[in-house]
Structure 1
Amino acid sequence: MNISSIDVLSKIFKNPEDDLALFENLHVLEFYADEKDRVYVKTLEHNGKDKVVLTDKKTAPEEIVRQLFLYELLNVYKYPKDRVKLEVDVQFGREIGKKRADVVVYREDMKTPYLMVEVKKPDVKDGLGQLKSYANATGAPILVLTDGKIQNNLLRTDPNLFEDLPDLPKFNETVEDVQKKIITYDDLDDVNNLKQLILDLENAVLANAGVNPFEEIFKLIYAKLYDELETPRSQNRRFRVIAGITNKENLNNISRLFNEAKGQWRDVFKDKDEIEIPENAIVPAVSLLQKYRLFGSNLQVIDDAFEYLINQDAKGGKGQYFTPRFVIDMCVKMMRPKKNENIVDTAAGSCGFLLHSMQHVWRNEITEADYGSSFESKRKEYADQHLYAIDFDPRSVKIGKAMMLIAGDGKTNVSYANSLDSSLWDTESKARFSKFLHRFDDFDLNKKNEEAMTDFDFDVVMTNPPFAGEVKGTLLNKYDLGFKFDKDFERTNKHQNKMTRDVLFIERNLDFLRAGGRMAIVLPQGVFNNTNQEYIRRYIMKRARLLAVVGLHGNSFKPHTGTKTSVLFLQKWRDDEERKKAGNYPIFMATSEKPGKNNSGDYVYAMDENNNIKKDENGSYVYDTDLDDVANKFIEFAKKHNFDFI
């Protein structure tokens, strides 16, 4: 009995379209069931046997991947059916039959392997070493590892050296034909799993190269971004492996590209920075990335990869963690940034708040319907003129700038600086932010502010400052909260001995806001609950109206920390008269019960009626969280109470 391919695939895969993203047509396979309800796939192998792929006890997703890949070999790459064999014994010394290659394409003599394929079920990536051992045992020059989502094509150039091929040679094509093909911008593929590519770079290429993987990967990423941005789209990519030249010459080619990228983004790298990847590793490293396009990529894909790179040890040790994107989306929805408003994140990390604010404004105010053919230039203009970020971690700045470049237009306003101490800002950072300085009526105050750069007029601040770490010394003198407060919650002239950074960030962010400006800030729960921090709460209420407090679930920042956090939403008072007139006012309060993560810190996704992961209009997965519902309830509350920004 024949069975619908849709029915079979949906029972074997959580989300067939995602799990088998490599294959354009998922309906080329035929299925049938026997009298015991075992489901078979009709094999495409010449004289091969049909395979069981589904029973009431088990599934065989890797067999589906294998048959779909076999279809590609036969129909796209045009290899003769009698040259292709499945489950071929591989001989290791005297041992025969202990290991089997999933797919082998033979040369004309039908004895010499030309191409070998190792197939895994989706998200299993442990086959690369096994595949290389097959190549060493058989001499096959071309290797393929695929899981249905990602395909790695490797060329064995030496017993222990492999480089990536941008594509497989078709029947009667040579490897040289593939390597010499011009790669234009339009030929580049979307990157579906950048995190896995980075893992491959770390494990297969840079693990034994004696270099810092983070630094070298980002040098390659910026060189690639520069190539995508500056090389005319119809011309051959400069970020590629050039066939027929030495490893050293390929290294020199990529180094020249990186040096040009340094000139474009001077505040990301130092003048002395150079690519330190060894000559024998540069070709496989570049070949892994060269066929993919970073600009315009799905931000969730890029985000996952960059969050992996800034791991707990590098970033979390400072009490600073990437903010889950569903928390950011809630903040953006509640703060409602507008196209003419200036936004800053003073502890920007990967610039998530800015990116999602940009997408919000693009989606709601700068559309093709609004601006016709000029809407894209208007979007770039908005990103260039209204989005600003600061971070004191150079690794975060590299990531934040890359995220803004990938999502925007090649320009970025991300500064490497200490938000808490503007006296240390470099000339470029001061110039970037000087146009947002608050203008006092008093000449002396204005002059002092121009020198100290303390008070600004940003419309919106959204941020997740670092929780850990304490500030001591003279810097505390610049902050009201650096002094002790008396029992009436008035500031005294006695200095605090130390203060946690998150508390100082509250005051600093209020200073960044114009009168009437809005702020969303993630804070540890203690700021809201601890009796010994009541003076902080009083200080906040004196300077701003409390719009909302949203308690986040304890899983929100796992696996990095289980610290309980809340998001505080404020609107800065315009003057004392407005504050006094407000009197006792209502505050929106909510607590999240669906965190979008499990107890281990893994993301949990929402499922549709077919038990597939839901996607939004941008193709990103939808998280299983209630924060969007919280945001909608806040909007109802804000409209009821006539908030002026809703």
Structure 2
Amino acid sequence: MNMIEAYKQFDEKFTGIFTIDKEWYKINCGVYSNNKPENSLNKSGKYSEEYIRARFIWSIIKVKKYPKENIFVEFNIPKGSEGSKSLDPDVVVFKDDSWINIYDNWDKTSALPEELRKLMLVAMEAKSNHKRVENALTKQLSDAMGSYIGEQIFGIYFDDLVDVILVKKEGTNSIKRYNPSKILDGETLIEKLNITNRDNIESIPSFEDYINNIIVKDNVSKLNFETNDGIDEDTFSNLLSFINRDIDRISLSRNEQDFIVEFLTLKVADEKEVKRGKKKYFDFYIEKHEKKEDGFGSQSFRKRIYDLYERAKKEYKTIFTHPAFWYTNKGADLIPSVANDEIFLIGIVELFQKKSILDTQNTNFNQIIFNNFGSSVEKAKEKQFFTPVPIVDSIIKMVNPQKNETICDPCSGICDFLAMAFRHVYKNELENLPSADMLYGFDIDQKIMKLAELNLVLNGDGNAEIKIMDSLSNKLLDDGTYNDVKFDVNNYYKDDWTHKNDKQRNVKQYNVIVTNPPFG
């Protein structure tokens, strides 16, 4: 039996007006309940919210989605501050039946016991009218899920429509769709939740699915694309919080941007190995026992990261030719180049080990990166104004670069245009991990070029040719070197940019030039 069949059976079994109370739930569903008596129909003769909730609970038990002894209907969560309203999630599903003893021994007036909060697995919210979905999701369900203590809790919203909305919440982050493919880019939470694109009721994960999801994520040595979600704005918000909180305490040997670019490129290299079938699980992780009390890594962690560095150097020569961080052998041990830099590495690993970069749905990370790591004062001083991604994307589509064409942005900034050009050219082949060696970007700002490297890595590949250079007076030559002769009419023909006296100094030409409007 599936959920649709269970719904029909419920409608046939329970007809007319009847009262639904805690006794009804106990007799017909075998679950715990706190709800007050409510009629099955409202004053308009339509199914009441209580009927919709009862039908859903009865059905998920009928199809054996969840064990009835772990379900509580109308669970009351007292608010912390005096005079504030309590939370009353329509349904809470606990991880096991140990919650019963804890609940029975709780006085029901003090704060919800920490043990109960840790045992919450799924919170549910029901509505009789689907037009009330926004508040139900962003306030009621989100607040209820926020009571959980742990890394991950799940949520289900259902109403008078058949399909549902599945969400989850990781740590202190905002709720988001359970299925990453349902997540949209957007300014507001409701835009990102994409509420018009619902989940099929038959796709509701089972109790075992949710439990296994938590168990798998807890085992960081067995993570891959099947277990990890794509990175999102919350990931970078957490990164920024980590930097602001710990950067002074850690005292890095160089600018944090250098490390962020290098460490996230290392993660991309790791993900590519899994994507290409070279291994089954990611190596960019740290187990709890590998992080010592002083914050440094164990030898097993260092060996894994050292080996990953050695392999990544072969693919990302530009980024790893002069690495910001490395390990050296000292006898039988590996020693970090700078001890405190390893603490920062471990922090980045912990933030990103349960995320995937290559499978992310968001293409706006270039803007997020710049907004998070670029000083607003420096932006204004340097007159750095970046084109919004939708405009970049529209321009790239109009220009329509092709696979066999070289593409150059002579004033590249953080390489928005090159990143979007790469995604456009290989829009149907990103799974095959194409190379970005046909992209060329130049800029005079060293800090911005570091962000450009990260931008290209996050959007697919880090092998573009990007160089700190004033492209007005200097040029890349045909042989791959950079001219040391001033680029002007005294040395070059203005019609075809060939050198007047030395063919070895001929300037490289490109099929497509695209840059920030109104200059491009």
Tell me which interval the TM-score lies in, with the shorter structure as reference length: 0.5 to 0.7
Give CA-to-partner distance per residue, 1:481-539, whole Å, 9 cap, x none.
Answer: xxxxxxxxxxxxxxxxxxxxxxxxxxxxxxxxxxxxxxxx524xxxxxxxxxxxxxxxx
Q: Distance in 1 between matches of 2:154 and 2:465?
A: 40
Q: Distance in 2 between matches of 1:256 and 1:171?
A: 34
Question: CA 1:283–1:354 in 2, change beyond 3 Å: closer, same or farther?
Answer: closer
- 1:179 paired residue number: 218
Task: Provide the secondary structure at the position in 2 that maps to 1:228.
Answer: helix
Give CA-to-partner distance per residue, 1:342-396, whole Å, 9 cap, x none.
Answer: 2210121232222333444446xxx79xxxxxx987x936x42x32112333443
Question: CA 1:317–1:253 in 2, change beyond 3 Å: closer, same or farther?
Answer: farther
2:482 paired residue among 426, 430, 438: 430
Matched, 1:81 2:133: no
Considering fraction of residues, name the structure with more strand: 1
Contact 2:407–2:512 at 8 Å: present in 1 too?
Answer: yes
Contact 2:152–2:170 at 8 Å: present in 1 too?
Answer: yes
Contact 1:438–1:457 at 8 Å: present in 2 too?
Answer: no
Letter aligned with residue 226 of structure 2:
D
Question: CA 1:337–1:279 in 2, change beyond 3 Å: closer, same or farther?
Answer: closer
> What does 1:287-366 align with in structure 2 at a 5 Å threshold?
287-311=350-374, 313=376, 314-362=378-426
- 2:434 paired residue number: 380
- 2:94 paired residue number: 105
Q: Percent identity?
A: 19
> What does 1:239-318 align with in structure 2 at a 5 Å threshold?
239-247=284-292, 248-249=296-297, 252=302, 256=306, 259-260=309-310, 261=312, 264-265=315-316, 267-268=318-319, 270-273=322-325, 285-311=348-374, 313=376, 314-318=378-382
Matched, 1:522 2:518: yes
Question: CA 1:326–1:423 in 2, change beyond 3 Å: closer, same or farther?
Answer: closer
Q: Distance in 2 between matches of 1:400 and 1:343?
A: 15
Task: Provide the secondary structure at the position in 2 that maps to 1:323.
Answer: coil
Shift of 1:221: 1.9
Matched, 1:398 2:450: yes
Shift of 1:70: 9.7
Question: CA 1:360–1:296 in 2, change beyond 3 Å: closer, same or farther?
Answer: same
Q: Distance in 2 between matches of 1:149 and 1:394?
A: 44
2:237 paired residue among 178, 199, 217: 199
Give the structure-1-normalised TM-score: 0.45
- 2:270 paired residue number: 227
Deviates more, 1:172-181 or 1:83-92: 172-181
> What does 1:541-580 align with in structure 2 at a 5 Å threshold?
none
Contact 1:238–1:257 at 8 Å: present in 2 too?
Answer: no
Contact 1:351–1:400 at 8 Å: present in 2 too?
Answer: yes
Shift of 1:199: 0.8
Task: Provide the secondary structure at the position in 1 that maps to 2:514.
Answer: strand
Question: CA 1:129–1:330 in 2, change beyond 3 Å: closer, same or farther?
Answer: same
CA-based RMSD of the aligned residues comes to: 5.9
Letter aligned with residue 468 of structure 2:
Y
Shift of 1:172: 8.0
Contact 2:75–2:88 at 8 Å: present in 1 too?
Answer: yes
Shift of 1:226: 1.8
Structure 2, unaligned runs of 5 or more: 12-24, 43-49, 103-114, 124-134, 157-164, 173-204, 249-254, 327-337, 484-490
Count of aligned positions: 384
> What does 1:547-626 align with in structure 2 at a 5 Å threshold?
none
- 1:210 paired residue number: 247
Task: Provide the secondary structure at the position in 1 that maps to 2:500.
Answer: helix
Question: CA 1:141–1:339 in 2, change beyond 3 Å: closer, same or farther?
Answer: closer
Question: CA 1:170–1:178 in 2, change beyond 3 Å: closer, same or farther?
Answer: farther
- 2:119 paired residue number: 115
Give the structure-2-normalised TM-score: 0.54
Letter aligned with residue 246 of structure 2:
A
Contact 2:122–2:153 at 8 Å: present in 1 too?
Answer: yes
> What does 1:112-151 align with in structure 2 at a 5 Å threshold?
112-113=115-116, 114-116=118-120, 131=146, 144=153, 151=168
- 1:414 paired residue number: 466
Letter aligned with residue 187 of structure 1:
E
Q: Distance in 2 between matches of 1:446 and 1:222?
A: 42
Q: Distance in 2 between matches of 1:320 and 1:286?
A: 31
Question: CA 1:82–1:326 in 2, change beyond 3 Å: closer, same or farther?
Answer: same
